[in-house]
Amino acid sequence: MLEDKNKQRTSLAELGEFGLIDHLTQFFKINHETTVKGIGDDCAVISHDNETLITTDFLVEGVHFDLSYMPLKHLGYKAVMVNISDVYAMNAEAEQITVSIAVSNRFPLEAIEELYAGIQLACDTYKIDLIGGDTTSSTKGMIISITAIGSAKKDEIAYRNGAKPTDLIVLSGDIGGAYLGLQVLEREKEVFKVNPQNQPDLQEYSYIIERQLKPEARKDIPKLLKELEVKPTSMIDVSDGLSSELIHICTQSKVGCNIYEEKLPLDPQVISTCEEFDLDSTTVALSGGEDYELLFTVPIKDFDKIKGNPNLSVIGHITEENEGVNLITRGNQSIKLKAQGWNSFNQER
């Protein structure tokens, strides 16, 4: 981690665990009536009339993030996005989070303040309550664990197992950008190692780098679908790559699918960067991951409600299980899809 030697460094030991928690959480606000008691007691207390949804994720330094190019404020923001995205992927509303961190003594208080500034920005932007967590020491590096809690009416929750043949497959936003942003950052890291005086100009990659360093969870999509009076039959977020997520839905729903190469939504910066890196843009779109867009299915009768919406792309349809999970190319060839996205137990991406 690159540090300014002139910056103040306050040892975490000076505050102690409870002093650190009080210091880091003093400016967080409560946004939801469902939060009865937040930080400050043995347990948080929440009260839901609806169904309660719970999800948790680990982020480990050296596996999920690299602090040589990931600013700590961005990391805090992204850590929240990773978790609340899973709540929105159930067609639900995210309301609370807990945050637990383990850090080595190489991190001063000022570094942890930066991390929590990103967490607070995410909470303020998405109206999320921080209601608890833990801090402890680590022998090496940084580990972040966040649990997100949400709620939804029972009949509005979208699971992965509800897709039916003839349903349309719909994707929010565009995909592939986060993976390419990572490739650009990794390339510049190697250049920096050779020439530390080199200052990269990353302006032409601004969109894809932001997709990697500061992704946004799609809180707007469940709200949009309610306004359109569309109930998804299945839903998942695109964290591990489009092909992996499609296979999850089809496996859980016991169906097959066809998606169409020409329908995959790609930003122009994704296309130009694929050309620069000599990468196939369709492969990047299918396997990239970390876009945190929402992938869902809707009954074909709802097509008129969603067609032409700038936030949504219809990329294919659900078929019978025996037809398999396929990509239909621009040349009208059918290719069986494989799950080749992110795998935390595989060091290669």
Mean pLDDT in residue range 51-77: 96
**Confidence at residue 199, expressed as pLDDT on a 0 to 100 scale:** 79
**C-alpha to C-alpha distance for 151 and 281, rounded to whole angstroms:** 37
Q: pLDDT tens digit string along 162-178?
A: 999 999 999 999 999 99
Whether residues 238 and 325 share a domain: the answer is: yes
* pLDDT: which is higher, 348 or 19: 19
Q: In the chain, what percentage of residues exceed pLDDT 90?
A: 77
Whether residues 248 and 273 share a domain: the answer is: yes
CA dihedral 158, 161, 164, 170 (to 10 degrees): 50
Instruction: Name the residue range of residue 269's domain.
Output: 168-336
Residue 343 within a domain: no
Please report how the helices 206-213 and 268-277 are oriented relative to each other, as an axis angle in degrees rounded to 10: 100
Mean pLDDT in residue range 226-235: 97
- The number of CA neighbours under 13 Å toward the Cβ of 195 is 7
Whether residues 73 and 185 share a domain: the answer is: no
Residue 348 within a domain: no
* pLDDT: which is higher, 345 or 103: 103
Q: pLDDT tens digit string along 79-126?
A: 999 999 999 999 999 999 999 999 998 999 999 999 999 999 999 999
Residue 341 within a domain: no
> Tokens representing 239?
């964290």
Q: Is the pLDDT of residue 312 over 70?
A: yes
Residue 238 within a domain: yes
Residue 345 within a domain: no
Written in H, E and C, the secondary structure of 165-184 is CCCEEEEECCCCHHHHHHHH
Q: Is the pLDDT of residue 145 over 70?
A: yes
- Of 156, 185, 215, which residue is a domain's last? 156
In the chain, the N- to C-terminal Cα span, in Å, equals 22
**Quick count: other Cβ atoms within 10 Å of Cβ 332?**
8
Whether residues 137 and 179 share a domain: the answer is: no
**Confidence at residue 11, expressed as pLDDT on a 0 to 100 scale:** 73
- Which stretch of 34-48, 209-223, 288-302, 318-332 has the lowest confidence by average pLDDT? 34-48
**C-alpha to C-alpha distance for 209 and 70, rounded to whole angstroms:** 10
**Confidence at residue 2, expressed as pLDDT on a 0 to 100 scale:** 44
CATH number of the domain within which 219 lies = 3.90.650.10
Whether residues 115 and 213 share a domain: the answer is: no
Query: From residue 162, how far is each of 52, 207, 239, 292 by CA, in Å?
Result: 19, 34, 20, 21
**Confidence at residue 3, expressed as pLDDT on a 0 to 100 scale:** 47
**Confidence at residue 342, expressed as pLDDT on a 0 to 100 scale:** 47
Give the dihedral sign, CA 272/277/280/286.
Answer: negative
**C-alpha to C-alpha distance for 203 and 174, rounded to whole angstroms:** 20
Q: pLDDT tens digit string along 181-191?
A: 999 999 999 98
Q: Is the pLDDT of residue 14 over 80?
A: no
- Which stretch of 29-38, 57-66, 305-314 has the lowest confidence by average pLDDT? 29-38
* pLDDT: which is higher, 340 or 127: 127
Whether residues 222 and 301 share a domain: the answer is: yes
CATH number of the domain within which 76 lies = 3.30.1330.10
> Tokens representing 194?
């050779």
Q: Which helix (H) or strand (E) holds 193?
A: helix 177-194
Whether residues 275 and 132 share a domain: the answer is: no
Instruction: Return all residues near 33 (Cβ < 8 A) that are at least 6 apart.
Output: none
Total number of domains in the chain: 2
Q: pLDDT tens digit string along 251-289?
A: 999 999 999 999 999 999 999 999 999 999 999 999 999
**Strands lying side by side in the sheet with 312-319:** 234-237, 294-298, 168-172, 312-319, 256-260, 325-328, 334-336
Whether residues 213 and 174 share a domain: the answer is: yes
Kindly report the average pLDDT of the chain as a whole number. Answer: 91
Residue 132 within a domain: yes
Residue 34 within a domain: yes
Whether residues 110 and 174 share a domain: the answer is: no
- Of 125, 156, 187, which residue is a domain's last? 156
Q: Is the pLDDT of residue 18 over 70?
A: no
> Tokens representing 287?
């396997």
Query: From residue 75, how far is each of 59, 97, 151, 216 by CA, in Å?
Result: 9, 16, 25, 12
Ranges assigned E (strand) in 165-233: 168-172
**Confidence at residue 63, expressed as pLDDT on a 0 to 100 scale:** 92
- Of 95, 130, 156, which residue is a domain's last? 156
Residue 278 within a domain: yes
Mean pLDDT in residue range 1-30: 66
Whether residues 277 and 257 share a domain: the answer is: yes
Instruction: Return all residues near 123 (Cβ < 8 A) that are at least 6 apart.
Output: 28, 29, 31, 80, 97, 129, 130
Q: Is the pLDDT of residue 27 over 80?
A: no
Q: In the chain, what percentage of residues exceed pLDDT 70?
A: 93
Whether residues 135 and 281 share a domain: the answer is: no
153 closest CA partner among 83, 95, 91, 97: 91
Confidence band, pLDDT 50/70/90 cuts, at residue 326: very high
Q: Is the pLDDT of residue 10 over 90?
A: no
Q: Is the pLDDT of residue 153 over 90?
A: yes
Give the dihedral sign, CA 179/67/191/63.
Answer: negative
**Quick count: other Cβ atoms within 10 Å of Cβ 242?**
27
Whether residues 198 and 144 share a domain: the answer is: no
